[in-house]
Structure 1
Amino acid sequence: MEFRILNSGICIENFKASGVRDNSYGLALILSDKICESAGVFTRNKVKSGSLIVTKRRLKNGFQAIIANSGNANACTKSSLQDAIEVSRYLAKRTKIQEDNIAVASTGIIGKPLDLKKIKKLCSLALKSIGSSPRHSELAAKAIMTTDTKPKEFSLEYKGIKIGSIAKGAGMIAPNMATMLAFIVTNAALDRDELQESLNRAVDKSFNMLVIDNDLSTNDMVLLLSNSSFSCDISDFQKALEKVTIELAKLIAKDGEGSTKYIEVEVKGSETREAARRAARAVIASNLVKAAIYGENPNWGRIIAAAGKEVEIPDKFDLFFESKNKRCCIVKNGEEKDASLAREILKEKEIKIILDLKTGEFSATAFGCDLSPEYVKINAEYN
């Protein structure tokens, strides 16, 4: 059975959403009809947003609502923890949802106090316009954008399992997640431990294989909420969840700050899965590789040098460049081949690099983008 792609965004049955913006702030709400079994994966940065700390503490309670703001990270201020609590308290007072069942997320500039007056005003506006249509999901996705250029949503149905999602992220993207938020909801009837294990596995194959610029945010968060309305096989849910998280990771990579090209790196024929993962991430994270792809330069030595930081490269490796309709073997059994077709492929907007080590049976894929002068401009001016 194939996945059926839905057009609902995060608004699958029994979930509602809303999003509003002003000049500097945005605010998204996601509400469930009931308290959900909940799982989460959070930044490994030792500096953490007050919003993230509050949400992580409440995870075991299960969530019925998510309130997420853009424009301010609510991090590295004296009041960040109390401000996050105050935001959830304000929402709790205006709904029938308990404060301890509200997740709080923030994204934006670090070190500036959260404008609580503005957040409360936006929250009131968002509550007035809450709804369950695809348009409401899109508004929520747009509300959490910062340097993103487009909203990110994905939803599907598989064997009766429905999963909806929205995400944001365009910069500060490195393995172990990045300045990214992802909110995922489902009808799958699984307990909290099962959801957490499934989410960990899915994140490992998707967001933890995503690199834009090697920076690690204070606010990274992926939340998974289930209203447990549909009994299912956990293996079917795992398959569907991984499809969702990989598609979200690709959307983030394609919207990388200043990027002109989307890149996938597949390392195959590895002796272990972990070695393949490390090599793929090393290549996708290499600024030299990113710059070469931006310049449409098939300098394959940079790819091998990057992978070689993590794994031993055998003498007789193969290396390919691939686009939607073209494929070029630029190195065969360790020997360079004609690069003319590779140059044509690198003119495309979506490029895949395939490194075959030919020493085993394991593979891994990483997601990213090129590095352009526009990236420097965006981040030089971000304030």
Structure 2
Amino acid sequence: MHKRDSNQNIYKFPDSGLQEDRFNRLNQRLNSIHTGFDIVNDKNPKFVKHLNEIESRISDINNELNAKYQTEIRHIDHLRGLIINDTDGYDDFTNERTPNTNSNNFNALMASSISQAESRLNQILENEILNRKNLECRLIDIINDRIDHLQSEITRRDTEREELDACVKRFVDFDIPRLSDAIRNEIDKCQSSESELLKKIEVEFTRLHEMIEDEIKARQQSIDALLDLMENLVQQITLDARNDRSDRQASEDVLMKLLEETLTRIQAATQSLYKEDNSLDNSSINSKYFTNCMNASQNNSSLFNVPMQDNINTISNISTSPSSLPSNIMNSVNLSHSLSSNKNSSYSLPLSYSKQLSINLSDQNNANNLSYPHCNSCNPANMT
């Protein structure tokens, strides 16, 4: 099983070269994987960090395995040294205790003990080698699983990257130019529509500005015409008012003259009538009566508040229509009318004058039956 070197007292394992070959193959596979990783990293730098982590883990595992292997080797060397020391001590002990024994028996005993120790040592070494092989197999399986998973992940990522590259290429080659053309056409349409809209707005603004200017001009002209018309109207009204004032003044002057003449004639007529028909007592009563009538006519302003044309018509018709006289004038002529009128006749004076006189003649020769409802001082019965 094992061969002992008498010079160095070191046991050599016959399968150490096989272990080195396996480690070399594993290193070659790892190097090939690293080479593939380098190629993948050159193509896709996104997995550099992940691959570095995996590489660090693999290197840690390798270092751990090497450390365990070195530890086991040292332990085995230590056990081998102990065995050698034990054998040497046993040989010395046996030589001291049994110096007279047969050398052949001693050699046979030593050979059997050495063979038993070697068998135990070989059993221990085989168990360690089996454990190491199992550990290496598990480690290789784990590494292979990780490598397969990593390769599948890299393949999937490469496929996704290729699909993404194809999609990006399709976007760059077809979609982006088409979208740029559509955007350019839309921009041209927007610019043309904006220019047309600006032109329409400018035309409409110009038209509205012209309309506003025309409206302002028309309004200014209408205002000027209205002001001219108002000025002309004011001037015409002022002129008419002045003419009416002058005409009214002249009419009032004429009316006053006619009134004075009429009163003078009436006074003369009444005086002549009283002198012819009444006695001296009646003449004194009539003079008092006439004086009261004149005072009443001077205190009354309703005659001059009558419209000018009515006053002129009244004075012009005094000689023909005594009933058109005011009540204060009729008081002075009631006696002459009572002497010349018929029996049971009455005069109705206009309502626009302030004083009215109702003359009721019941008897042609009875002058004491006259009625003076508005002037008690003009009643002949109250003059005594």
- TM norm. shorter chain > 0.5: no
More helix by share: 2
Calculate the TM-score normalised by the size of structure 1: 0.17
Q: Which has the higher contact order (CA 8 A, sep 6+)?
A: 1
More strand by share: 1
